[in-house]
Amino acid sequence: MLAYVDTSALIALAVSSDRNHARAVHFLRTALSDGIRFVLGRPVLIEYIDGVTKRIGKKDAIAQLRALETSAAMRIEPDVDDDHVAAHDLFLRYDDQPIDLTDCLSFAIMGRLRLTDAFTFDRDFATHGLTCRP
């Protein structure tokens, strides 16, 4: 089984003071032992690494980038032009919700890959009808 990884999950995994840290670590360990592997959209990777660069520092960001790029559990999925068209449409459709364009791009990538489960603490994924894990 494959599940999509959102920025909120990456932050929860990396930051021990995050309120979701323990749940994220437990879920990741359990999921990996159950054979679940993860898809990390390139837009989420960029959003996460940019945040680490700005809030923590470039050296930590480089270390995180290298770890994610070499992870056997996470596959980095590039976005394609059709994903951007779909994300644009979703962003406009959710005009009454605070769902950002990166989340809409994640929804589009998940749709293209036929993924329904997301490792996330962001309720926007549930709003879109996806299953949030943990």
Express each pLDDT in 37-83 by its tens digit. Answer: 999 999 999 999 999 999 999 999 999 999 999 999 999 999 999 99
Please give the Cα distance from 75 to 67 (Å, whole number): 12
- In this structure, is residue 28 part of a structural domain? yes
7-40 pLDDT, tens digit each: 999 999 999 999 999 999 999 999 999 999 999 9
Cβ neighbours, 10 Å, residue 67: 11
What pLDDT is attached to residue 114? 98
The domain spanning residue 10 has which CATH number? 3.40.50.1010
Residue 67's domain comprises 2-79+115-133
Query: What sign has the CA pseudo-torsion 7, 12, 17, 18?
Result: positive
- In this structure, is residue 9 part of a structural domain? yes
- In this structure, is residue 55 part of a structural domain? yes
Cβ neighbours, 10 Å, residue 14: 17
Name the pLDDT band for 5 (thresholds 50, 70, 90): very high
Q: Which amino acid is at 106?
A: S
- In this structure, is residue 86 part of a structural domain? no
Cβ neighbours, 10 Å, residue 22: 11
Is pTM beyond 0.85 here? yes
**Overall domain count for the chain:** 1
